[in-house]
Structure 1
Amino acid sequence: MSLQKPQLTDAYSMILEAIDVGVYRPGDRLVESELAERFGVSRTPIREALQRLETQSLLARDGRSLIVASLDHNQMAELYVVRRELEGLAARLAARHATEEEVRILRDMVEEDNALKDNPRALSRANRRFHKQIHLASHNRYLVQQLDLVHRTMALMATTSLAAQGRGAIAQSEHDAIVRAIAARDEAAADAALREHISVAFMTRLKQDAARRQDEG
């Protein structure tokens, strides 16, 4: 007999996915009745999912309404510091613990994702899948949990750094270097390659934000 996921988990996952893919963006108001209709569930699991997302700081209060939270400059910088440390550790542990099959999967992902270099939205989804695979290859459940929280919070950024001109090709080259280090079982090189990858992504995002402020000014 197959077991169905609890309805709360479904509602939570569906709302989180909608935020992640940009259906709901930072500042957008979330209304129970509208969400229930969109996702075809009752308002009770929607309400519980919203409470859970608010507890995780993915939603914020605006008066009596709940809106998708946004990150200011300092919060974004803090998030990238944590992400760089945790991702580097994941790469280091993956170099130590990944099975040969997991390494092959990572290689295949890099090869397949090369076709998406000029499609930022699709490459962003592929990028999340690639990083998740490294997290799993670390074989450390507690690290995976913390990285899941970090990546959920990344969804609060309105744009992807992969939308920057030429970033897709550079990111793919960085992914290739990461996988090569993991395959070589070089823990230090894997750690350094992934840290550098996150640092370049952060610098790219800072440039994007600076350009946006200039346009708005």
Structure 2
Amino acid sequence: MTSPRNGQKDAYALILEAIDTGTYRPGDRLVESDLAERFGVSRTPIREALQRLETQSLLTRDGRSLIVASLDHNQMAELYAVRTELEGLAARLAARHATEEEVLVLQEMVEADRALLDDPAALARANRRFHTQIHLASHNRFLVQQLDLVHRSMALMATTSLAAQGRGAVALREHAKIVDAIRRRDEAGASTALRDHISVAFVTRLKLDSMARDEA
């Protein structure tokens, strides 16, 4: 049974959202007919969406099947290297261009997210919203486009670094430091604070991956 409500939505956005929220995880096989039924979309736009996602390296081939891609150690390091540079630039530009209203929204996000410390999944979603808000506050459309692609690729990681014990509280303190620098129009400070934030997140993820290998 198809859903008229979903039938009007973009198949690419629907599949991407399902990957981003963990409905489909790295290694999961995506079947065209199953996706069409799940989302209430005809198979043609589903096929086109899968091709687009494969081109973006979010899906990969396993024989004749398409599966959600996963990142090996080197790919993850490469992704974090690019993310660090682009996020640092976004923070620098946000300190230069953000409106007072945008700064206020960032401050309110940090305060509101404190209520999510016991829910890593919800905190991870809030974290994405926070970073996206900084990207938008940079007022550079080309940078926003590149960061959007980077953050889509982040969905290929099986777990969030915010799931690590104590990481959520530390991350929010880091967020507050970033916002404070943006508020003070400290471009170098904002860039450094955000780059440091990404670096700590990367170290945390490496530790999580190491423990997962030990348990395997």
Match of 1:87 in 2: 87
Q: Percent identity?
A: 79
Between the aligned partners of 1:44 and 1:134, the Cα distance in structure 2 is 36
3-state secondary structure, aligned to 2:10: helix
Match of 2:98 in 1: 98
CA distance in 2, matches of 1:119, 1:172: 13
Q: Distance in 2 between matches of 1:114 and 1:84?
A: 24
Q: Distance in 2 between matches of 1:111 and 1:40?
A: 38
1:180 aligns with 2:194: no
Q: Alpha carbon RMSD of aligned pairs, Å?
A: 1.0
AA aligned to 2:38 is R
Post-superposition offset of 1:110: 0.5
Which runs of 4 or more aligned residues in structure 1 lie more than 6 Å from their structure 2 counterparts after TM superposition? Answer: none
CA contact (8 A) 1:8 1:45 kept: no
| Structure 1 position 8, deviation (Å) | 9.2
Aligned pair in 2 of structure 1 residues 210, 8: CA closer, same or farther (>3 Å)?
farther
Map 1:125-204 to 2 at 5 A. 125-204=125-204
Distance 2:134 2:158 in 1: 25
CA separation in 2, counterparts of 1:159 and 1:15? 19
Structure 2 counterpart of 1:46: 46
Supply the AA of the counterpart residue of 2:82. Answer: V
Deviation (angstroms), 1:118: 1.5
Query: Which consecutive unaligned segments of at least 5 residues does structure 2 have?
Result: 1-6
How far is 1:117 from its partner?
Answer: 1.1
TM-score, normalised by the number of residues in structure 1 = 0.95
Q: In structure 1, what is the equivalent of residue 123 of structure 2? A: 123
Aligned residue pairs: how many?
210
**1:60 counterpart SS class:** strand
